Amino acid sequence: DVKVTQSSRYLVKRTGEKVFLECVQDMDHENMFWYRQDPGLGLRLIYFSYDVKMKEKGDIPEGYSVSREKKERFSLILESASTNQTSMYLCASSPLGGRGANVLTFGAGSRLTVL
Amino acid sequence: AQTVTQSQPEMSVQEAETVTLSCTYDTSESDYYLFWYKQPPSRQMILVIRQEAYKQQNATENRFSVNFQKAAKSFSLKISDSQLGDAAMYFCATGDMRFGAGTRLTVKP
């Protein structure tokens, strides 16, 4: 019954490494989102996408990029990981439209540690 | 973007009692949606309840209900007859996908 799958549950990377976080959904949703979750800060929106090959910056896009080559897959890329990017990363998806009524379906999260 | 404030980092409730989690938000929209999500320990975030702003009636889902005060931009979550399984992080969110900082709810047996 898995609907949003994040490929890695735990990752440990070194400063300066390029990091890929993968997210796949099987619900044919148009919208996909990447958040980071930090204690005391909640969820902060990094990037989102409303369609294949489309992307929009969220509130904290600096240091991140994304790729959406297929509808079901949305990747978050850290070009050069830094220690302040140590966090829990959550992927989510929702159907198109709905005037903001759509419920997000979340993945289990990817906990990234940058040493 | 809409903004969300949750002023209670942690809350505690006795099993079978009632607890209310607070949330305020800011928006320039006239019609919008508000959500409460629950994140149990080491488990995925799930929806608890959703409210449409133009509806006067407060949303209810079993033991979960909201107190929506549109003029005050307040959207609190009430959990009645609290159960051990209600222990989780609770996040308030807006329809433009912005979240608050969360409230960690502990349920004491």
CATH of the domain at B75: 2.60.40.10
DSSP reduced 3-state for A5: strand
- What average pLDDT score do residues A39-61 get? 94
Q: Which residues of B touch A5 (CB under 8 A)?
A: none
Q: Which residues of B touch A107 (CB under 8 A)?
A: 44
The pLDDT tens digits for A64-77 are 999 999 999 999 99
User: What is the count of structural domains for chain B?
Assistant: 1
Task: Please report, for chain A, the start and end positions of each structural domain, with discontinuous segments joined by +.
Answer: 4-96+103-114
**More confident site: A102 or A92:** A92
Which residue from A65, A10, A15, A50 is spatially nearest to B97, judged by alpha carbons? A50
Q: Which residues of A touch B1 (CB under 8 A)?
A: 59
In CATH terms, A4-96+103-114 corresponds, of 2.60.40.10, 3.90.226.10, 2.40.50.180, 1.10.3720.10, to: 2.60.40.10
The pLDDT tens digits for B41-72 are 988 999 999 999 888 889 999 999 999 999 99
Q: What is the pLDDT of residue B96?
A: 87
B97 and A CB contact within 8 Å: yes
What secondary structure, in 3-state letters, does chain B show? CCEEECCCCEEEEECCCCEEECCEEECCCCCCEEEEEEECCCCCCEEEEEEECCCCCCCEECCEEEEEECCCCEEEEEECCCCHHHCEEEEEEECCCCECCCEEEEEEC
- What average pLDDT score do residues B71-86 get? 96
- pLDDT tier at B28, thresholds 50, 70, 90: confident
CB-CB under 8 Å, A108 with B43: yes
Nearest CA in chain A to B91: A42
What radius of gyration, in Å, describes the C-alpha atoms of chain A? 13
Q: Find the chain A residues whose C-beta atoms sit closer than 8 A to any C-beta of B.
A: 33, 35, 40-45, 48, 59, 90, 92, 99-101, 103-104, 106-109
Q: What is the pLDDT of residue A98?
A: 63
Residue B84 has pLDDT above 70, yes or no: yes
- What average pLDDT score do residues A11-28 get? 96
The DSSP symbol for A13 reads E
Q: Which domain holds residue B61?
A: 3-108
